[in-house]
Amino acid sequence: VAKEELGNKPKRKGGQTKEGIARCTFEDKILMSDIVFLRAWTQVEVPQFFNPLTTALQPRDQTWKGMRTVAELRRDHNLPIPVNKDSLYKKIERKPRKFNTLVIPKSLQANLPFESKPKHQPKRKRPGLEERRQRGVIVEPRERKIHALVQQLQLMNNNKMKKRNLKEKKKKKAWEEEKKKEEELSKKRKREERRDKYRKEDKLNKKSRRA
């Protein structure tokens, strides 16, 4: 069990492994300030022993009676079972943790490629010119109407462009299909012309042999 006050418990990782071997991970991020308690168990052989009862060596007409148990004593004296507050189950309330930002040393940053280098922009104490301009500008009702009209015109133009692109794609697809059909027809014609040519040559060869 680790970080008992925050309830950071380990979870088993992976499938079935050899007996005594396990891979675990923690629910929350482990910090350098945390204390991890590892509790391991091992099989121990308990030595067998016996306790001779000398009181059992008594006459048969008398029944042997042993010492009363703790439960019998509590029941006779109406004593409640003592409760340890630390042993009771408590609801774990986990507060959201805020981790510090990743700090890369400058010596390591120098060896990193440009894409992997952190791009930190220092925060401005005063707002920039564009920000101040946006804050200070008050839009009049006429300017709002003009702005809304421009947005509507842009939306209409975008819809027209989409429709035009769809038409062009359909035309291109139809043209490609027609071109494919023409190529197949031309191949078929060339094949037939070749066959006619070979037939004529064969007939001429046969005539020449007969002559």
pLDDT bracket for residue 13 (50, 70, 90): low
* Predicted local distance difference test score (pLDDT) of residue 44: 86
pLDDT bracket for residue 9 (50, 70, 90): low
Write the pLDDT tens digit of every residue in 99-132. 777 788 888 888 888 888 877 666 667 766 667 6
If you average pLDDT over every residue of the chain, what do you get? Answer: 80
Average pLDDT on 50-64 reads 71
CA–CA distance, 36 with 3 (Å, rounded to integer): 7
pLDDT bracket for residue 161 (50, 70, 90): very high
* Predicted local distance difference test score (pLDDT) of residue 209: 81
Highest mean pLDDT among 15-19, 43-47, 72-76, 106-110: 72-76
Query: What is each CA distance from 45 to 39, 42, 50, in whole angstroms?
Result: 19, 10, 16
